[in-house]
Structure 1
Amino acid sequence: MKIKFYIIALLILATLTSCVQEVHLKTVTFKVNMINTEQPINVGVKGDFTENRWNETIPLTDENNDGIYEVTVSQKTAINQIQFKFVNNEEYELKEADNRVLEFEYKPETIIYETTFNNPESKITKE
């Protein structure tokens, strides 16, 4: 009987002290300058944050024809960073370089990520 009591007590203790991170809404607007890119076709972003990691392309559009393609993505998550690259006609940018990385804080965030295709420099604005 004592063993059963200890097992139940341990299960209750484990449940009460478990570490479950709270999720927060992350809204990211990706903007990529394609002005100096020859024939931008099917511009998009791929990364480890899509449902089908690195196999799904999120399309970007240039609604105002200024050469800046963009999309806004919102997701509730507890992750602290994402890795991604932009694609043009399914061809990855920065072929010999590391993936782009966007780090998150542990709170709801709205972020604008701006860059130029095939240029590793970026501007990150947090609102």
Structure 2
Amino acid sequence: MKKIVFLIISCFLMFSCVQKAYKQTVIYTVEIPDSEGVTSVGVRGKDKPLNWDQDTELKKINDKGVYQVKVTYLTGYKFTEVKFTRNGEYELQNMPNRRIEFNNSGITQYKAVFNQHK
């Protein structure tokens, strides 16, 4: 009987420690210096709504090769990891992912140059 009570209490405590999730919006802006021949620009990442298998498309915002997208996460984490793609091909081959630290305000502006790790 003591084992059953202990098991029930343990399960209750284990599931009641869930981290609270918050909305975090990131505005990704990437410059592609050599944008000739670019048919698509995307971002992929480890946290939903992004994933590593499919691009989330960035839209061209000027004629200087700058692209942008706004992504909203529902997360308890303080950061995420992403990489940009050009024509479906990953940037920064054999290099670490970009780590984006979320701003406490809930809105983060992230600016990058394609294939240049900062």
Q: TM-score, normalised by structure 2?
A: 0.81
| Residue identity (%) | 33
Contact 1:28 1:74 in 2 (8 A): yes
Structure 2's unaligned 5+ residue stretches are none
What is residue 114 of structure 1 aligned with on the other side?
Answer: 111
Alpha-carbon distance between aligned partners in 2 of 1:74 and 1:65, rounded to the nearest angstrom = 26
**Which stretch shifts more, 109-118 or 15-24?**
15-24
The structure 1 segments of at least 4 consecutive aligned residues displaced by more than 4 Å after TM superposition are none
CA shift digits 1:5-57 (9 cap, x unpaired): x6346524642563110001110000000133432221011111245730011
CA shift digits 1:70-93 (9 cap, x unpaired): 000012111233221110001111
- Local SS of the residue matching 1:26: strand
Structure 1's unaligned 5+ residue stretches are 122-127
RMSD over aligned Cα, in angstroms?
Answer: 2.4
Which is greater in Rg?
A: 1
Alpha-carbon distance between aligned partners in 2 of 1:89 and 1:10, rounded to the nearest angstrom = 53
What is residue 57 of structure 2 aligned with on the other side?
Answer: 59
Q: TM-score, normalised by structure 1?
A: 0.76
Structure 1 residue aligned with 2:85, among 84, 87, 102?
87
Structure 1 residue aligned with 2:41, among 40, 43, 62?
43
Equivalent residue pairs, number: 117
Contact 2:22 2:75 in 1 (8 A): yes
**Which stretch shifts more, 37-46 or 109-118?**
37-46
